[in-house]
C-alpha cells in the first residue's frame, strides 16, 4: 500500500471515529485532521506525508525534553514489566510514587512537601478546590467555599476547572456553571481586594492564579503582584493556589515560576512537564502546615482519589524525566534560549509594523498583532493567519483569539538550541511576510 493511501485511510477513519478535543468538529469533518503525526525526534515532528515540522509549542506546552527520548521509554518498560500499576487507595503504596513525591518535595519551593497525585491539570485543579474547602471545613469554617480566579486564566475542563477558567467561550459551551466560583480582573490587586470585600473573606476558600497565564495569551504576572497577593491572602485567611501546570519544571527559566516572585503558595498544581507528556500525570502539592492540619483534624477516609493517583509507571517516567531536566540543565537552557527567542521577536517587531507587544519568560512567549493605524486589534484576527502560514512552512505555533487577544504564542521544547531558535524565527518571519502581503 502506498504511503498516500494510508494517509487517506487514516483521514477517513479519523473523521468517522475520533472526536477531537478543543477542535472544530465541522472543520475536522470537512477537511480532515490538520496533521497526522507518525514520529518525533528532538524538537521536530514528522507526519504521514514525510513532512518535518518544528514544534514551536512542545505540543501543548508539555513535551519539554523533546521527542524520541529512549530513557523515558525504558523507564516505562522497566516499571511496567516489574509492576505496571497498583492502586494507592486504602493506604497502599508503591516505590515510584513514594520516590517521586519525595523528589517533588525537594524541588518545590518553601515547605511544599506533600503531594496528591492526579492524571493531569484539570484533575489537579478540581482536587485543589476540594482540598481547600475540606481544609476550611475541618477547621470549623465550612462556609469558606468560594474559589476566586482570574479573567483570562485557564485551569482545565472538568466542571470545577471550567468554572475557575476565566475565558468566557469555555463557559458558554454549556451555559451551566458550578456554584461558588468568582472571577477578578487579570493581575489586578484592586479587583481582588474589592472582590474579597464584596464576597466576604469568611466565604472564600482560596484564590487561584497562574504566574504566567498560558492559554489566556501568555500574560506574565507583573513584578510584585504575587508577593502582594500572598499578603492579601494571609491577611484574609484565604489559601493561595498557584497553577504551575504549564510553568512548572523549567518552562519559565526557573524550576517553578513562583520562584521568580519569591512566593510559596499554600497549594501548587503541576501536570504536563512532570513527564514531558510521555504519560499522563499531575498533582497538587501542599505545605507541611496544611498537610499536618489535614492529618490532625481529619476523621475517617479522605473520600477523594482517582484510580490512577500515584500510578507506578507514570511516576517512574516522571522521576526519569526530572533526572533528564536536571542532568541536561534544561531550566538554565530555558532561561538562556528564552532570551534568544525574545531577541528574535524584537527583531521581527522592528521589521513588521503590525507586531505590537512581544514578551517571554524563559521559553514561553507571545507576539501581539495590532493594527498600526489604530493601535488596536484588527477587525479580523491576524494571528490564525500567521499560524497557518507558519504551519505551511514547517513551524507549529498556537494562537489566542478570545477576550480581546490576537496573539501568537510559543512554548518550544526546553531542549531547543540556538540554531533551532533561529530556524523558528526565520520560518516565523517568512510567515509574517506572507501575512503582510495579504494585508496590503
Ligand atoms: N491549568 C493550566 C494552567 C493549563 O494550561 C491546563 C492545560 O492546558 C490545565 C490546567 C488543564 O490541564 P489538562 O489539560 O491536563 O487537564
* Tens-place pLDDT, residues 14-73: 999 999 999 999 999 999 999 999 999 999 999 999 999 999 999 999 999 999 999 999
Please, which residues have CB within 8 angstroms of residue 190's CB and are 6 or more apart in sequence?
Answer: none
C-alpha 2 to ligand 1 mean position (Å): 38
85 CA → ligand 1 middle, Å: 24
Query: Separation of 154 CA from ligand 1 center, angstroms?
Result: 7
Long-range interactions of 220-226: CB distance < 8 A, separation 24+: 220/359, 220/361, 221/187, 221/261, 222/187, 223/261, 224/261, 225/187, 225/189, 225/261, 226/258, 226/261, 226/263
Q: Which atom of ligand 1 is nearest to the CA of 244?
A: 3
- CB-based pocket (< 6 A), ligand 1: 60, 120-122, 125, 154-156, 210, 214-215, 243, 245-246, 271
- Tally of CA atoms within 13 A in the half-sphere of 89 that contains its CB: 8
Minimum CA distance residue for ligand 1 atom 12 = 121
Atom from ligand 1 closest to the CA of residue 215: 5
Cα-to-centroid distance, 5 and ligand 1 (Å): 36
Please report the atom of ligand 1 found closest to the CA of residue 60: 8
Bridge-based pairing of strands 395-396 and 52-55 is parallel
What is the predicted pLDDT for the residue at 403?
Answer: 86
Ligand 1 atom nearest to 271, measured from its CA: 15
Nearest atom in ligand 1 to 153's CA: 3
CA of 125 to the centre of ligand 1 (A): 8
Closest approach atom of ligand 1 to CA 282: 15
For ligand 1, atom 5: residue with the closest CA: 246
CA of 98 to the centre of ligand 1 (A): 24
257, 247 Cβ separation under 8 angstroms? yes
Q: What percent of the chain has pLDDT over 90?
A: 97
Please state, in angstroms and rounded to a whole number, the distance separating the CA atoms of residues 214 and 188. Answer: 17
Phi-psi region of 58 (alpha: psi -120 to 50; beta: other; left: phi over 0): left
The per-residue pLDDT for 1 is 47
Q: Which residue lies with its CA nearest to atom 13 of ligand 1? A: 121
Closest CA to 150 of 100, 74, 227, 206: 206
Ligand 1 center to 289 CA (angstroms): 26
Atom of ligand 1 nearest to the CA of 121: 12
Ligand 1, pocket-test mutation among 243, 271, 283, most atoms within 8 A of CB: 271
Task: Supply the pTM of this predicted model.
Answer: 0.98
C-alpha of residue 239 to centroid of ligand 1, in Å: 20
Contacts 24+ apart (CB under 8 A), 46-54: 48/3, 48/6, 48/7, 48/10, 49/3, 49/4, 49/7, 50/3, 51/394, 52/394, 53/391, 53/394, 53/395, 53/396, 54/394, 54/395, 54/396, 54/412, 54/420, 54/423, 54/424, 54/427
Lookup: cell for 147: 474559589
CA 338 / ligand 1 centre spacing (Å): 22
Burial category of 12 from C-beta neighbours within 10 Å (exposed 0-12, middle 13-18, buried 19 and up): exposed
Among 22, 59, 122, 247, the mutation site with the greatest number of ligand 1 atoms within 8 A of its Cβ is: 122
* Ligand 1 closest atom vs CA 214: 5
The answer to whether residues 386 and 435 touch, using CB atoms and an 8 Å cutoff, is yes
d(CA 121, ligand 1 centre) in Å:
4
- Integer Cα distance of 94 and 189 in angstroms: 43
Amino acid 130: pLDDT? 98
What value of ipTM does the predicted structure carry?
Answer: 0.99
Cα 240 to averaged position of ligand 1 atoms, centre (Å): 18
Q: What is the pLDDT of residue 409?
A: 98
Among 165, 163, 137, CA closest to 243: 165
In this prediction, residue 4 carries a pLDDT of: 62
For the chain (440 residues), the mean pLDDT of every run of 10, in chain order, is: 77 97 95 96 96 98 98 98 98 98 98 98 98 98 98 97 97 93 98 98 98 98 97 98 98 98 98 98 98 97 98 99 98 98 98 98 98 95 98 98 95 98 98 95
**Ligand 1 nearest atom to the CA of residue 122, by list position:** 16
Amino acid at each position: 500500500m502506498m504511503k498516500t493511501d494510508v494517509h487517506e485511510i487514516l483521514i477517513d477513519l479519523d473523521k468517522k471515529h475520533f472526536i477531537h478535543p478543543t477542535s472544530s468538529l465541522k472543520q475536522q469533518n470537512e477537511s480532515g485532521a490538520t496533521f497526522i503525526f507518525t514520529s518525533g525526534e528532538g524538537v521536530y515532528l514528522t507526519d504521514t506525508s514525510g513532512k518535518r515540522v518544528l514544534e514551536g509549542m512542545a505540543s501543548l506546552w508539555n513535551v519539554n525534553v523533546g521527542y524520541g527520548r529512549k530513557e523515558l521509554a525504558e523507564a516505562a518498560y522497566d516499571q511496567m514489566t516489574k509492576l505496571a500499576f497498583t492502586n494507592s487507595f486504602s493506604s497502599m503504596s508503591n516505590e515510584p510514587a513514594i520516590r517521586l513525591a519525595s523528589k517533588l518535595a525537594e524541588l518545590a519551593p518553601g515547605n511544599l512537601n506533600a503531594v496528591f497525585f492526579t492524571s493531569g491539570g484539570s484533575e489537579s485543579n478540581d482536587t485543589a478546590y476540594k482540598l481547600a474547602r475540606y481544609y476550611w471545613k475541618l477547621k470549623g469554617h465550612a462556609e469558606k467555599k468560594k474559589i476566586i480566579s482570574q479573567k483570562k486564566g485557564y485551569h482545565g475542563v472538568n466542571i470545577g476547572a471550567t468554572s475557575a477558567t476565566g475565558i468566557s467561550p469555555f463557559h458558554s459551551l454549556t451555559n451551566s456553571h458550578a456554584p461558588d466560583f468568582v472571577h477578578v480582573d487579570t493581575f489586578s490587586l484592586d479587583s481582588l481586594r474589592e472582590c474579597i470585600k464584596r464576597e466576604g473573606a469568611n466565604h472564600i476558600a482560596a484564590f487561584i492564579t497562574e504566574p504566567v497565564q498560558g492559554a489566556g495569551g501568555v500574560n506574565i504576572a507583573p513584578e510584585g503582584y504575587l508577593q502582594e497577593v500572598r499578603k492579601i491572602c494571609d491577611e484574609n485567611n484565604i489559601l493561595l493556589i498557584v497553577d504551575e501546570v504549564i510553568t512548572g519544571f523549567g518552562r519559565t527559566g526557573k524550576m517553578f515560576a513562583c520562584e521568580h516572585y519569591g512566593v510559596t503558595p499554600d497549594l501548587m498544581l503541576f501536570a504536563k512537564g512532570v513527564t514531558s507528556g510521555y504519560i499522563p500525570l499531575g498533582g497538587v502539592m501542599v505545605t507541611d502546615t496544611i498537610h499536618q492540619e489535614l492529618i490532625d483534624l481529619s476523621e475517617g477516609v479522605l473520600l477523594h482519589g482517582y484510580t490512577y493517583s500515584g500510578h507506578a509507571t507514570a511516576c517512574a517516567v516522571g522521576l526519569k524525566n526530572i533526572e533528564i531536566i536536571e542532568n541536561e540543565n534544561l531550566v538554565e537552557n530555558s532561561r538562556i534560549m528564552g532570551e534568544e527567542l525574545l531577541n528574535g521577536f524584537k527583531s521581527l517587531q522592528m521589521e513588521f509594523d503590525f507586531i505590537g507587544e512581544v514578551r517571554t519568560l524563559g521559553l514561553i512567549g507571545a507576539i501581539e498583532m495590532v493594527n498600526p493605524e489604530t493601535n488596536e486589534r484588527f477587525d479580523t484576527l491576524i494571528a490564525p493567519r500567521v499560524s497557518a502560514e507558519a504551519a505551511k512552512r514547517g513551524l507549529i505555533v498556537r494562537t489566542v483569539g478570545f477576550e480581546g487577544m490576537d496573539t501568537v504564542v510559543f512554548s518550544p521544547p526546553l531542549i531547543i538550541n540556538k540554531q533551532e531558535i533561529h530556524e523558528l524565527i526565520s520560518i516565523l518571519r517568512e510567515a509574517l511576510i506572507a501575512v503582510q502581503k495579504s494585508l496590503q
